[in-house]
């Protein structure tokens, strides 16, 4: 603050005008009275710019989702790799990793009628999978494994599912069979 006041006194000696978006100050006459107002305006402008940046970020993320790019952290069975798109833009795309085989096995077993919890307990014991049970159970409802992206409602646009730019681990038929098996399990309980 002392540095600012020293600079202001230099400006005051030169009879310099200070322009802000809302007011013009003659530094020599008005600084002492308007110092806090000028500082307040600067803070307000920074706050407005921060909101604009936040809004642009949200709009950009939602545009990427609509185009089929998965924007969250990579789910179990995937990793992120930089790939060039059609327009030579580097994007981090989901790529199946070594855990994809476990995802496929889990989907096949649930589609064949095994309960998800039993599959989780068995695979955790046999393969030492380090995945929380809740994440394992949510995996079966996640359309990302089927090569799809769920787009949530945003600014009046309805929610929908779009084809993702990433490789699917699970095909449409297996994904549908698992959804049917899960709904049967829920109805029976």
Q: How confident is the model at residue 109 (pLDDT cuts 50, 70, 90)?
A: very high
Instruction: Kindly report whether the global pTM for this prediction surpasses the value 0.75.
Output: no
Q: For residue range 47-96, what is the model confidence (pLDDT) as tens digits?
A: 888 999 999 998 888 888 888 888 888 999 999 988 766 666 677 889 99
Backbone angles phi, psi at 96, to 5 degrees: -55, 140
In this predicted structure, the answer to whether residue 131 has a pLDDT above a threshold of 80 is yes
CA angle 176, 62, 100 (to 5 degrees): 40
């Amino acid at each position: 603050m002392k540095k600012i006041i020293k600079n202001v006194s230099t400006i005051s000696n030169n009879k310099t005008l200070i322009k802000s978006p809302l007011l013009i100050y003659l530094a020599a006459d008005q600084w002492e009275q308007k110092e806090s107002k000028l500082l307040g305006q600067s803070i307000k402008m920074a706050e407005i710019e921060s909101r604009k940046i936040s809004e642009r970020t949200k709009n950009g993320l939602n545009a990427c989702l609509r185009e089929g790019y998965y924007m969250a952290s990579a789910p179990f069975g995937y990793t992120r790799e930089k790939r060039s798109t059609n327009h030579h833009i580097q994007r981090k795309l989901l790529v199946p990793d070594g855990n994809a085989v476990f995802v496929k096995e889990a989907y096949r077993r649930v589609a064949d009628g095994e309960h998800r919890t039993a599959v989780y307990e068995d695979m955790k014991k046999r393969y030492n999978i380090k995945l929380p049970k809740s994440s394992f159970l949510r995996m079966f409802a996640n359309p990302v494994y089927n090569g799809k992206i769920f787009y949530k409602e945003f600014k009046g646009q309805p929610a929908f599912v779009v084809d993702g730019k990433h490789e699917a681990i699970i095909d449409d038929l297996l994904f549908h069979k698992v959804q049917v098996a899960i709904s049967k399990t829920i109805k029976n309980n």
